[in-house]
Structure 1
Amino acid sequence: MLNKWKPFSFLSKPHSLSALSSLMFFRPSVSVADLVEEEPFIFQPRKDPVFEILSGLKKLGFRRFVAGDYFREMVLRLNQLQVDKIINCLRVESPDFAVVFFDFMRNEYRFRHSRFSRFVVAHVLAGQRRLKELRFFLEQMLKEEGSGSAPSLCELLLNGFRDWDQNSLVWDMLAFAYSRSEMVHDTLYVLAKMKDLKLHASILTYNSLLYNLKHTDMMWDVYNEIKVTGTTQSKQTNSIIIDGLCGQSKLRDAVSFLQEIEGKMLGPSVVSFNTIMSRYCKLGFADVAKSFFCMMLKFGLVPNAYSYNILIHGLCIAGSMEEALEFTNDMEKHGLEPDIVTYNILTKGFRLLGLMNGAWKVIQRMLNRGLNPDLVTYTILICGHCQTGNVEEGLKLRQEMLSRGFQLSVFSYSVLLSSLCKSGQVDEALVLLYEMEANGLEPDHVTYSILIHGLCKQGEVQRALHLYKEMCLKRISPNSISSGAILLSLCEKGMISEARRYFDSLIMNNWVQDIVLYNIMIDGYVSHGNVEEAVELYKLITRTGITPTVVTFNSLIHGFCKRRNFPEARRFMDTIRLHGLEPTAVTYTTLMNAYCEDGNMHCMLELLQEMDAKCIVPTHVTYTVFIKALCKQRKLQEAVQLLHDMCDKGLNLDQVTYNTIIQCFCKAQNIKKAFKLVNEMLLNNLEPTPVTYNILINCLCVYGNLKDADKLLISLLEQNVNLTKVAYTTIIKAHCVKGDVHRAFLFFCLMVEKGFEISVRDYSAVINRLCKRCLITEAQHFFCMMLAYGVSPDHKICEVLLDAYHQCGDLISVHKMLAWMIKSGLLPQRL
């Protein structure tokens, strides 16, 4: 136990006892022999415990004396004043002894020393220049004393230790310890007292205080105090000032200060240049940072690895990978080996650009240098592969990490979870969640939000709710992302009552603190026609003091527009302004669309003029609504002109706009113009949608030549264009009507081959039309085909066939169908 008390290790050595006996730090009234009767030493009680302890320490040495029963009995009765006397006496005769006794009493007996004893020990340590121990000692003392203790400690130092040796150093170290403990006001108090006593603080203390104040203007007060007192500055002083100015975004002042200290004995350091370069790089000015790098060389300063890494990082963020690699080569030419940080920076640069091949080349270069990837390297690579959609590669890297003994962070797992959920692999993501927990990692609200959102996207609301409850049990408060995903999913699935119960539970737990969740619930009510509940929820918002947004009002306006309640919709539009908000293009477009459905072109034009007066730019959706209105009035040429006006104004046209006008030309039987607009779409780099082709095929089937419809569909199939089931059913229906069963059958088979789900309704539509044309054999063929594909007929389709057989007088087929129906459990509803 005494090995840590190096100053007293000599006490156990026989040759040191004579040296100790020469230290007469008290004058005993009796000889030491009178104190000892026999071995082991038994001490007779004395009235003065201070005298007894000092005598015992002198006679027996520290180890033997403190191990005795007498000391253990006596020490429990010692008070602070007596301990102060012992430590003070030891300070004079044996300073090392004073420190060890102080530590022994504190560590072994949990004795709470007085401030006096603490300062005695501080002066001993200062006298022996044990500055690291002194700093640690004072920091521990201030940890107990706490903030605001400077006045009382200064008073004790001033009154009790003024003439002591090393008192100036203790004052300085006290100020330094306060600064290191981030007790700035106490530091300033101590320095003010030192100034009154004409004691000078060291540059170490001033630098520490400067560092604490570098984000404030008080930094300059301290710097001026350094200059006034004539305290010798260090390069660190200048570096702190520059760091502070950069941190306050005062880059010009930082550069001016750099120029100011140029040419002085303590000119700018590499650290100062690194600070300025780093700040410029963070702001995206890598070229400016490069100029400071050159200036550093002009000053005769040698850039270090950190200098290069700063610049390489800035160039990578700016996407200048070639320059970044050039600086890496330059680094090597100047005898600096790129470290793992350098390679990680380069890897991240390629990752940000989505160039994972480049990232792997950097990794290979790193491996050739004998450097192994660390946790940061793996995290960057996992993020990169997940970013490019290659989650499988990310999972392989995770496995490699685990095999090499690396523990993935919560962030790395979250990246993998997000990528898996985006690719629809939510079950695999949940497995990773349980792996996280098995590895001792606690998922946070971000992790749960990713999974809940993923489950909701797949329509698995119940599983999302289960995960949500699990999160709440772990006392992880849900955020608006996770709560919003569940609420939105419930509303989209039409589970409005369940959505409201869930929403109310969020309110009860005080987890609805913004408008987002209210907006989702209001929109859910509006989408399902319950405008009254949406309005009640809006009233609740106003009562709770949450500020509604334009989105809130847009949903309510949309609800009243659906009901054709235009006065109420306009009233809510006016209410927007009462809340200090302005209607948006979406607000106006919503109202315009309702007026369009109502055929009220006059009100639409009024709203457009109002938008123009308020400088609200119409969107392509606004123009689409107007095109739809013009088409309804059969003003097709005006609609086309508006379409071209949109192009001239640089608005991004979408397929919906074109589909709207193409459908109108089809209804007007102007097929040629419809196809011309399709070609125009392609010229504008707009790929027609399946809806576009459905409109054209339907138009050809109804108004044009069925052969042209066949050719169009076959041509689209040859071009691998994705078509919907509607395209096939439309053309099948047309061929059935025309009586061309052979082609109807061919397209039906083609529809089955494309993997579309064929329902009873699809078969029924064909069979019903064939029976109407008395094509019974062909209808029966489709019926057999339906049975072959495992689709169970219903009563309706069977009775259609029964009627057809009956009308043709085929009684045998009637009896066979009846027998089959009874056997299949489809009892005829009528005979």
Structure 2
Amino acid sequence: MLNRIHQCVPLRFPVKPLILSPLSSLIFTKPSVSAAKIAEDDLTTDTSLSKPRDAVSEILTGLQILGPSKLLRGHWFRTVVPSLSLAQIDQIIHSLRLENADYALLFFDLLKNEYGFRHSRASTFVIAHVFAGKRRLKDLRSVLQQMLQDEGSGSAPSLCELLWNSFKDWDSNGVVWDMLAFAYSRFEMVHDALFVLAKMKDLNVRASILTYNSLLYNLRHTDIMWDVYNAIKASGIPQSEYTNSIFIDGLCKQSLIQEAVAFLRETEGKESRPCVVSFNTLISGFCKMGFVDVAKSFFCMMFKHGLLPDAYSYNTLIHGLCVAGSMEEALDFMNDMEEHGVEPDVVTFNILAKGFRLLGLMSGAWKIIHKMLHNGLNPDILTYTILICGYCLTGNVEEGFKLREEMLSRGFHLNITSYSVLLSSLCKSGRVNEALSLLCEMETIGLKPDLVTYSTLIHGLCKQGEVQRGIELYKQMCSKGIHPNSFPHSAILLGLLEKGTTLEARMYFDTLAKSGLMEDIVLYNIMIDRYAKLGKIGEAVQLYKQIIEKGIAPSIVTVNSLIYGFCKTRKLAEAGRWLDAIGAYGLEPSSVTYTTLMNAFCEEGNIHAMFELLQEMESRAVEPTHVTYTVVIKGLCKQWKLLKAVQLLEDMYAKGLYPDEMTYNTIIQCFCKAQNLKKAFQLHNEMLLHNIQPSPVTYNVLINGVCVYGDLKDADRLFSSLLDQDIRLTKVAYTTLIKAHSAKGDVDKAVFLFGQMVEKGFEISIEIIVPSLIDCAKGV
């Protein structure tokens, strides 16, 4: 009804309250005519009452005669309250505090809650003192926090001035000061809280350890926490068990591990009994930094000091072990937990289940869940989320949906994480329409899809070629006030490029650039990479210049794409200059950088330059990948250094690098050309021993090698053997064998193979048939 009825009239307390005489005398003396009229009108609901000449005195008198419930909710009060000025309201609240504090609280709340009135600072402090006097600290904190929400950051100096000048002699003033500092700290207005504490020190008002702990917690990431801790010690206030643990936590968060340990030892020497909370904080700090063994030593130290670890101690250490992948040891600690009379809770079992899930061991996760149920504990929403994530991330989305149904049957609703994982899993398996149905379900139950949810769906649609639907979903996301990052734009841009419409993709890209929606390098990298792969290095360089003009820092991906583009267009000198210029941008070359250039020199036959790059790569501590070694093997094969190539293959395994089928295909082909078919097939067998599945290209190379350099009968036997093993052969394998038989004049065999090709569904082109028939004719 009224947010601000009249202009604010500044009021400084103490103000002389309007009290006609001691308020108790008002009850026993004859009420004024106006007061009597109030009572009569409220009983008769007469709306013709004129406004009283002195509203403040009438309200004060009416409160005593009618009581707060009748007066404050009556018709007369509703008609008179709009005419009250801020100063009058302040005066009423101040007067009521002296005579009937409960009435002051009722009056204050009624105006705020039912009339939307924003009370002055002065009235708020009056009520704060009332709550402080009644030791209603929760209400005191609430009223001060409401005031600070309105006042905002930087308000401490003016509030402190008012509190000191107008309330310094009031009862419970120290409590209000302390709670004001605490409220600022809770709202993370740290500088205001420090100002209040400094003022309290000047006024010799003592802060509580609760306030100091709150401030220490907010400052634990900064050096100022030392000043706060020293102030606590200087004040002589008894510290709580959380004070030292907060300080230790701050030291850990600032990576001051040695100082944290030294501090614990120092406090041990001064305290008769070390605190479990302090040990827990150190255990948590070391676990978060990955030093689980050190955390275990502090865990054991607790027993040495006669302390029993609590559930938090065990859960923290078990979590650290799970993150490190030490599941067996984590399970041992759960057993130790039970032996020491500490019951594992749902948190314990969830931590262990998640540990198994991170390792992809869903059977282990289920064993933990069964034990949880055996212990009489019920899975919570986090338990289901862990299991759903586990199944979806391993590609078993159906099991994820079964768990979803079980959750719903038990009255649980999926959270945003569960939905996001299910959506992502569906999109990865191409079931985007089902994912869109889940999106609708989320909105139906009141969950708000976030940027990740929409981006996943947009990416899924674009990957299936439904770019237009992806764009429509993008617009829907923006209409809901969700500001996009580069990910949904990347999905749309990649979708347009995958459809082969580079021109359309560039138009979309330019639209984004003009609208100022490209603030990072990601989208530029996508377009530059596409131009480089198409060999359009001019367009790629033009975009690079745009990046520099806009002040966007290029990434190593940008430079790698440009180097690839120059290599593709055989401008190797220019590509080399880009390698030399990488340092100017504060970038370091990657294995991709060197491997791209090495492959280009290898293709040009400049093996010497390729090996120079390999040496430079190793001197700069850039680790070669299996692709790098594949390129080097290809170079060695071009020089017919086959023994070195084989040795390099063995070196890869020794360094923990695993060749792929392309590595083997390269060297197998070389041995076939060298007419060393025995070694070629040995390498094929080696692939199988290392669980590397030969590709159709592998078999094409072997069949061609046997046809050209071996016995055609061996080629037929190899071909038949592969068919018997249901190994997928390509059109090339058939064509190679047909040409070989045609050249030998074996028409029947050639025709038979043609028939097999047709049965397998391969397209028979005239380019294959005519030359083969001519060869057959020549052979005959």
TM-score, normalised relative to structure 2? 0.85
CA distance in 1, matches of 2:558, 2:51: 87
Q: 2-side partners of 1:161 and 1:679: how far apart?
A: 91
Q: Are 1:147 and 2:136 counterparts?
A: no
2:31 aligns with 32
Q: Structure 2 CA distance, aligned partners of 1:680 and 1:326?
A: 41
1:759 aligns with 2:763: yes
Q: Greater CA deviation, 392-401 or 614-623? A: 614-623
SS in 2 for 1:548: coil
Partner residue of 1:808? none
Are 2:553 and 1:547 aligned?
yes
- Secondary structure of 1:41's match? helix
Change (3 A) 1:579 1:359: closer
User: Could you say what secondary structure the match of 2:513 adopts?
Assistant: helix
Partner residue in 1 for 2:83: 77
Aligned-residue offset at 1:282? 1.9
State the alpha-carbon separation in 2 of the partners of residues 44 and 449 from structure 1: 65
AA aligned to 2:265 is Q
* Count of aligned residue pairs for this structure pair: 750
Hey, what's the Cα distance between the residues in 2 that align with 1:450 and 1:587? Answer: 30
Partner of 2:140: 134
Deviations 1:83-136 (A, max 9, x none): 333333333333333333333344444444333333333333333333332232
The aligned runs of 1:377-392 (5 Å cut-off) are: 377-392=383-398
Give the alignment partner of residue 662 of structure 2, picking from 656, 659, 675. Answer: 656
Deviation at residue 474 of structure 1 after TM alignment: 4.7
Per-residue deviation, residues 184-213 of structure 1 (Å, max 9, x unmatched): 223222222322222222222222322222
Shift of 1:375: 1.2
Please show how residues 524-539 of structure 1 align to structure 2 within 5 Å.
Answer: 524-539=530-545
8 Å Cα contact 2:34-2:52 kept in structure 1? no
Matches within 5 A, 1:80-229: 80-229=86-235
Q: Which amino acid aligns with 2:226?
A: W
2:45 paired residue number: none
Are the structure 2 counterparts of residues 182 and 733 from structure 1 closer, same or farther at C-alpha, using a change threshold of 3 Å?
A: same
Single out whichever of 44-53 and 362-371 deviates more from structure 2.
Answer: 44-53
Measured in 2, the distance between the counterparts of 1:625 and 1:141 equals 70
One-letter amino acid of the structure 2 residue matched with residue 41 of structure 1? E
User: What is the deviation of 1:345?
Assistant: 1.3
The residue aligned with 1:783 is none
d(CA) in 1 for partners of 2:150 and 2:771? 93
Structure 2 Cα separation of the partners of residues 330 and 601 of structure 1: 62
> What one-letter code is carried by the residue in structure 1 that aligns with 2:359?
L
CA 1:592–1:324 in structure 2 vs 1: closer, same or farther (change >3 Å)?
A: closer
Quote the offset at 1:343 in angstroms: 1.6
- Residue 40 of structure 2 corresponds to 41
Letter in 2 for 1:211: Y
Aligned-pair CA distance for 1:370 = 3.1
Pair 1:582–1:274, CA change in 2 (3 A): closer
Change (3 A) 1:267 1:239: farther
CA deviation after TM superposition for structure 1 residue 682, in Å:
5.8
Pair 1:277-2:276 in alignment: no
User: Partner letter of residue 689 of structure 1?
Assistant: S
Q: How far is the alpha carbon of 1:382 from its aligned partner?
A: 0.9
1:413 and 2:411 are equivalent in the alignment: no
8 Å CA contact retained: 1:312, 1:324: yes
Which structure has the higher relative contact order (CA within 8 Å, separation 6+)?
A: 2
Residues 75/672 of structure 1: CA separation in 2 closer, same or farther (3 Å cut): closer
Asked whether the equivalents of residues 235 and 266 of structure 1 are also in contact (C-alpha less than 8 Å), the reply is: no
TM-score of the two chains, using structure 1 as the length reference: 0.80
Q: Which runs of 5+ in 1 are unaligned?
A: 1-20, 776-831
Q: For the structure 1 residues 163 and 365, does the alpha-carbon distance in structure 2 shift closer, same or farther, using more than 3 Å as the test?
A: same
Cα deviation, residue 332, structure 1: 3.1
Cα distance in 2 for residues equivalent to 1:697 and 1:454: 40
Q: Structure 1: which amino acid aligns with 2:157?
A: P
Whichever residue aligns with residue 172 of structure 1, its letter is D
Q: Distance between the aligned counterparts of 2:371 and 2:484, measured in 1?
A: 44
Q: Supply the distance in 1 between the matched residues of 2:117 and 2:478 (Cα, whole angstroms).
A: 46
Q: Which amino acid aligns with 2:31?
A: V
Contact 2:34 2:58 in 1 (8 A): no
Deviations 1:585-628 (A, max 9, x none): 54455445445444455655666676677676766655655655
In the aligned structure 1, how far is the partner of 2:225 from the partner of 2:609? 64
Q: Distance in 1 between matches of 2:480 and 2:563?
A: 40
Report the Cα distance in structure 1 between the residues aligned to 2:145 and 2:482, rounded to whole angstroms: 36
Judge which range, 407-416 or 298-307, deviates more.
Answer: 298-307
Give ranges in structure 2 of 5+ residues lacking alignment: 1-19, 42-48
Deviations 1:535-571 (A, max 9, x none): 3222222222223344434433443444444454445
Moved more, 236-245 or 343-352: 236-245
User: 1:330–1:772: structure 2 CA closer, same or farther, 3 Å change rule?
Assistant: closer
- 1:52-107 per-residue CA deviation (whole Å, 9 max, x = no partner) reads 33333333433444455554444443333333333333333333333333333444
Shift of 1:728: 2.1
Contact between 2:357 and 2:390, CA under 8 Å: does it hold in 1? yes
Distance 1:768 1:312, change over 3 A: same
CA contact (8 A) 1:296 1:302 kept: yes
Does 1:319 pair with 2:335? Answer: no
Secondary structure (helix, strand or coil) at the match of 2:529 reads: helix
Is the CA contact 2:742–2:775 (under 8 Å) kept in the aligned structure 1? no
* Cα 1:461/1:696, change in 2 over 3 Å: farther
Shift of 1:377: 0.9
Q: What secondary structure is seen at the aligned counterpart in 2 of 1:717? A: helix
Corresponding residue for 1:791? none
Q: Distance in 2 between matches of 1:38 and 1:426?
A: 74
Contact 2:154–2:192 (8 Å) recurs in 1: yes
What's the CA shift string for 1:232-262, capped at 9, x where partnerless? 2222322322232233232322222222222
Query: Contact (CA 8 Å) 1:477, 1:511: kept in 2 or not?
Result: no
- Counterpart CA distance in 2 for 1:617 and 1:289 is 33
1:640 to 1:462, Cα distance in 2 relative to 1, 3 A: farther
In the other structure, the counterpart of 1:641 is 644
CA-based RMSD of the aligned residues comes to: 3.7
Contact kept, 8 Å, 1:203 with 1:234, in 2: the verdict is yes
The amino acid of 1:31's aligned partner reads K
Partner AA of 1:99 in structure 2:
L
**Alpha-carbon separation, structure 2, partners of 1:701 and 1:325:** 59
- Compute the displacement of 1:722 (Å): 3.5
Partner of 1:341: 347
What letter is aligned with 1:759? E
> Do the aligned residues in 2 keep the contact of 1:316 with 1:349 (CA within 8 Å)?
yes
Instruction: Give the Cα–Cα distance (whole angstroms) in 1 for the partners of residues 522 and 168 of structure 2.
Output: 66
Offset of 1:729 from its aligned partner? 2.6
The more displaced of 39-48 and 216-225 is: 39-48
Task: Assess, with a 3 A threshold, how the Cα gap between structure 1 residues 728 and 442 changes in structure 2: closer, same or farther.
Answer: farther
Larger mean CA deviation between 225-234 and 571-580 belongs to 571-580
Task: State the shift of 1:510 in Å.
Answer: 2.8
- Report matched runs for 1:456-475 at 5 Å: 456-458=462-464, 461=467, 464-465=470-471, 467-468=473-474, 470-472=476-478, 474=480
Q: What is the CA–CA distance in structure 2 between the aligned matches of 1:617 and 1:367, rounded to whole Å?
A: 48
1:494 Cα deviation after fit: 3.4
